[in-house]
Chain A
Amino acid sequence: MKHLLSTADLTRDEAILILDTANQLAQATGQGVGKLPPLRGRTVVNLFYEDSTRTRISFEAAAKRLSADVINFAAKGSSVSKGESLKDTALTLEAMGADAIVLRHGSSGAAHTLANSGWISGSVVNAGDGTHEHPTQALLDAYTLRRHLRDGAGDLAGATITIVGDILHSRVARSNVHLLKTLGANVRLVAPPTLLPFGVDTWGAEVSYTLDDALVGADAVMMLRIQQERMNAAYFPTIHEYSQRYGLNQARVNLMNQGAIVMHAGPMNRGVEITSEVADSPQSVIVEQVTNGVSVRMAVLYLMLGGNEATV
């Protein structure tokens, strides 16, 4: 598989290979090794149509630590302000010799379009396409879960993970549901009915409208960011009510299993979907997720570009 577009495309073995590789790379980084050589001579382009300093820096750090050359291309262009077309930008990057393009775009399916277009010969890493998928986020989430719940090895069979929030518009949720199930975990989704996608009952997860019920017996909870504009589109009446019914506070955290962890892909709305107290508590692994993001992205880039063709 030359491109990483969706976690639904990863088999269990492939996913575990990525996580195990991330382990080795995290260790190498931890041992104080500076740069690792395998991507020397490779060019990785960060093509970001949406502002995301955090993810872009994570990919940049990952690529550079593997000795790749990194080009950052902050593209303009939305359905409102039509900049250069994706096709023309892609052709330009191909002419510049990009071995991989890390794409973050506001349209679901943009990464698929780029990968299947024939405009580029390199690999595509989906860094978030609209409300569709964000595979490296799910991988770093799985890596984090594995570290805390399974001693950093194997899969997540038998673990129960609860994902809470705007599932309808969440690419993080979609990628996580696919990957967690591939790794054998039991997934629970919690949201008000308006924020659940049509057909969510076919996703193979338990669906609930009540947060407390879904936290009992959970080994981890993943909070999704809620956006103000959803309130304006009548998905829920007020932020206050949303926070009361679906916000994570310490009392709710205490309903989970012993040793359970609290996760958030960020950026957080402190006081809305998660209290500051919980975000900063010892059970919160939110900051660690960011560190793990670099290791996981290094693993993905290494497996994709470290040889003559992708391993995964």
Chain B
Amino acid sequence: MTSYVLKNVSIVGGAATDLLINEGVIAQIGNGLSADQVIDARGCIALPGLVDLHTHLREPGKEDTETVLSGSKAAAIGGFTSVHAMANTNPVADNAGVVEQVWRLGKEAGLVDVRPVGAVTKGLGGITLAELGTMADSAAGVRVFSDDGKCVHDPVIMRRALEYVKAFDGVIAQHAQEPQLTDGAQMNEGIISGQLGLRGWPAVAEEAIIARDVLLASHVDARLHICHLSTAGSVEIIRWAKSRGIKVTAEVTPHHLILTDELATSYNPVFKVNPPLRTQADVEAVREGLADGTIDIVATDHAPHAAQDKDCEWSAAAFGMTGLETALQVVHATMVKTGLLTWQQVGERMSYAPAQIGRVATQGQALVVGAPAHIALFDPNTEVLIAAENSVSASRNTPFAGYTLPGTVRATFFNGLPTVLDGKLV
């Protein structure tokens, strides 16, 4: 195995030093190290390989938009070494057969650790529990269960699910969206939606479910994870729940850290997403929440879509944005450059904590000697003009097309082998 040394790198914001990667682990940290391949990492930050708790890889069923392989490539470009593949595929990942298929495809691609998420209910129908235990016991070792795309809105089903997965240290990840309050909804309910004549998706539809679910989780003493939290009110509810010792964790997407519903004025469906882009006040609240740890992690909710599902009028367009390739740049811009997070904390929010929640033992470890060499090397000193056609993902629906984002992922190491070098796939 080729050895690599990152020369003069700052490990999660620390003083510049050399980091030697050999035989799949971090072999040495110190000065004046050498290896088969030398990477000049002066000015760069080494982060533990990023772990995404919320990705849509679309395989099986929508391979025209993304596959496990293409999604793994996009993840590697973004500095990720593990992604959790959501269950709303076709067929739905509600049984051992599908999750094992996705897991095997991930292993074959060999670029990131693909952890399949199992559906909570059969076919995402919200009526009967899926075989949660069998999926946990399968080769895929599922620990995160979610009907994401849809809300587990039946309170009894949600309660049962929360309780049931305790047996194997699983966690239910809720897509909080009261379905009747959001019937036909197109964008955030606010001043903009009123002007644009687009049906509103009110914040209360997210907050009411979160409030209910934290109380349920408390009552049955179970872990709960809230997907893509987007409103100021939701942050307050999580803060309150945590203050009571409730075992809830929450994620925020990169796009909710920076984009607002004002963008819908263009009627460009690249900005159509679920939950929708909210107001500036919500953006500020989720940034604060991520800074103080109320929101535990950043998760991309990478949602690739085919061109014809975005190249149309707003109401005909699909909901979702890609995000794996730009996640770290957006977090850099919104949280590090603003002084809200240190690089050490970025490592916690984007690697350590998501690995913990997903119970992924081999990921999210501190960059110390002996740890598996899952590393993202980030150069914060560059600026990149984002162009949709440069996407490594099979889909082009990035909301950041035309934006200039700060920083580049120079290299990604997965199990000590580079998946990305010089900013490009190896």
Do chains A and B directly touch (beta carbons under 8 Å) in the complex? yes
Q: Which residues of A contact B (CB under 8 A)?
A: 79, 85-87, 105-110, 112-113, 116-117, 129-133, 169, 171, 174, 197-200, 202-203
A174 close to B195 (CB less than 8 A): yes
Residue in contact with A85 in the complex, picked from B190, B191, B308, CB distance below 8 Å = B308
Q: Give the interface centre of A106, A131, A169, A198 by most chain B CB atoms within 10 Å.
A: A198
Give the contact stretch, choosing among B33-41, B110-118, B311-319, B320-328.
Answer: B311-319
B265: min CB distance to chain A, Å: 9
Beyond A87-B311, A107-B313, whether A131 also contacts B194 by CB under 8 A is no
B267 close to A197 (CB less than 8 A): no
B134: min CB distance to chain A, Å: 37
A112 close to B267 (CB less than 8 A): yes
Q: Give the interface centre of A87, A107, A171 by most chain B CB atoms within 10 Å.
A: A107
Residue in contact with A200 in the complex, picked from B194, B268, B308, B315, CB distance below 8 Å = B194
Residue in contact with B313 in the complex, picked from A113, A133, A171, CB distance below 8 Å = A113
Chain B residues whose CB sits within 8 angstroms of the CB of A132 once the complex forms = 196-198
A116 close to B316 (CB less than 8 A): no
A105 close to B313 (CB less than 8 A): yes
Beyond A116-B266, A198-B193, whether A109 also contacts B198 by CB under 8 A is yes
Chain A residues whose CB sits within 8 angstroms of the CB of B276 once the complex forms = none
B190 close to A199 (CB less than 8 A): yes
Q: Closest residue to A201 on the B side, CB-wise? A: B191
Beyond A85-B308, A116-B266, A198-B200, whether A109 also contacts B313 by CB under 8 A is yes
Chain B residues whose CB sits within 8 angstroms of the CB of A116 once the complex forms = 266-268
Residues of B in contact, count (CB < 8 Å): 22
Residue in contact with A108 in the complex, picked from B189, B190, B198, B312, CB distance below 8 Å = B198
A79 close to B315 (CB less than 8 A): yes
B184: min CB distance to chain A, Å: 9
Bound-state Cα–Cα, A250 to B77, Å: 70
Bound-state Cα–Cα, A200 to B192, Å: 10
A133 close to B197 (CB less than 8 A): yes
The contact sample of 8 A-B pairs, CB cut-off 8 A, is: A105-B313, A107-B316, A113-B267, A116-B268, A130-B197, A132-B197, A197-B195, A203-B195
Bound-state Cα–Cα, A271 to B267, Å: 37
Q: A109-B314, A129-B197, A203-B195 are in contact. List 16 more A-B contacts (CB 8 A).
A: A79-B316, A86-B313, A87-B312, A107-B314, A108-B198, A108-B314, A109-B196, A109-B197, A109-B313, A109-B315, A110-B313, A113-B313, A116-B268, A130-B198, A197-B193, A199-B192
Beyond A108-B197, A132-B196, A132-B197, whether A86 also contacts B312 by CB under 8 A is yes
B313 close to A198 (CB less than 8 A): no
B197-215 interface (Cβ within 8 A of A): 197-198, 200
Q: Closest residue to A198 on the B side, CB-wise? A: B194
Chain B residues whose CB sits within 8 angstroms of the CB of A129 once the complex forms = 197
Bound-state Cα–Cα, A105 to B191, Å: 23
Beyond A112-B266, A198-B190, A199-B190, whether A107 also contacts B315 by CB under 8 A is yes
